[in-house]
Amino acid sequence: MAMNWHTFRIRTISAIVFVAVMLTGLCWNAWSFLLLFSVIHVGCWWEYQRLMMQIDSSYAEINPLHRIGIILAGWGFMLFLSGRWELSSSIQPGYIGRQFLIAGIVLVMISDAKQLLSGRLRPLGYSLFGFVYISLSIALLLHIRSGLVWLTRGSTGFATIISEITGIYVILFIIAVIWVNDTMAYVVGSLIGKTPLSKVSPKKTWEGTIGGILMSVLLAWLTGHFLIQKGYGWKWGGIALVIAITGTVGDLFESKLKRMAGVKDSGAILPGHGGFLDRFDSLLLAAPAVWIVLKLIG
């Protein structure tokens, strides 16, 4: 497969803009972080609901309050998992999140009362799956950001290093690994890719996928060994391996949804990258995987 340099330039420029916006939202302060992922949350839900309506017409027939309520509940759950993370001395999103979570659930139940009583549960099932797929994943990112996932202070070795790193740097690590994996998979696949990886994403190749994973693990190992803690680079490489694999699966899963819906992209927010789900499909599966890994390490 020959390298398409025009597409590569468009993707590169879009990626630079994307990185600039993401870094600003991630690193400026807690408010910018919450605003960034609130926008991402709503954008992913909007596109997911549109895909579900194209996949199954029954979802298009549900009360609009159902679609609003499940997004509201998901946003509340995001805030709830932020725990003790405080936006200010008087504003605790964990407490506010509970109120929005309850309000969203009540709104869904009220708007779907007739359907629930008649046994029409499939549309609700799509929304519950979206809650796990989108809201839970982003909520776990906020939980990582809050620092509550960290190990008990006083641990030794790798545990000490993890506990001393603030959540924002771990999130930056996740995003960096995903970006390296996506970019190198595209480059390697364009240059030497010959074997299709999956029917749901015919442009992806085994050569590109393996190249992206290997480069992600290598760079993570070098970063962990030389910049974080000598002797523990292999563990950072292991976390990168989990991110790269689950990120690739997330990409393929979203491609499957688009194929079922009969669309090329979930949206068009970034030229060359598609919509919110196209851009964050890897993160939605990688974030829970990293959260689990950090819990297991502890």
pLDDT tens for each residue of 268-284: 676 656 789 988 999 99
pLDDT exceeds cutoff 90 at 53: yes
pLDDT exceeds cutoff 50 at 154: no
Q: How many structural domains are present in the chain?
A: 1
**Is the separation of the CB atoms in 83 and 53 below 8 Å?**
no
Rounded Cα distance, 208 and 210, in Å: 6
Strand partners, 201: 198
Angle ∠(3,21,136) on CA atoms, nearest 5: 95
| pLDDT value of residue 153 | 46
Distances (CA, A) of 29 to 25, 166, 169, 176, 192: 8, 13, 13, 19, 42
Q: What residue numbers bound the domain in which 215 lies?
A: 5-297
In the block, tokens 């590169």 appear at: 12
- Alpha carbon 22 to its chain centroid, in Å, reads 13
Which phi and psi (to 5°) does residue 150 adopt?
-70, 165
- 281-293 pLDDT tens trace: 999 999 999 999 9
| pLDDT value of residue 272 | 59
Distances (CA, A) of 189 to 4, 86, 178, 195: 11, 44, 16, 9
Strand partners, 274: 270
Give the residue among 290, 205, 187, 201 at the shortest CA–CA distance from 244. 290
Buried b (16+ CB within 10 A) or exposed e, 98-125: eebbeebbebbeebbeebeeeeeeebbe
61-65: average pLDDT: 87
DSSP label of 152: P
pLDDT exceeds cutoff 70 at 90: no
| pLDDT value of residue 152 | 46
Which phi and psi (to 5°) does residue 274 adopt?
85, -145
Considering only residues 156 and 56, tell me which one the structure prediction assigns the higher pLDDT: 56
pLDDT exceeds cutoff 80 at 183: yes
213-219: average pLDDT: 94
Question: What pTM, to 2 d.p., does this model score?
Answer: 0.86
Strand partners, 205: 196
Considering only residues 229 and 153, tell me which one the structure prediction assigns the higher pLDDT: 229
- 133-151 pLDDT tens trace: 999 999 999 888 877 665 4
pLDDT exceeds cutoff 60 at 115: yes
- 1-46 pLDDT tens trace: 455 566 667 667 777 777 788 888 888 877 888 889 999 999 999 9
Distances (CA, A) of 175 to 25, 182, 277, 287: 13, 11, 15, 9
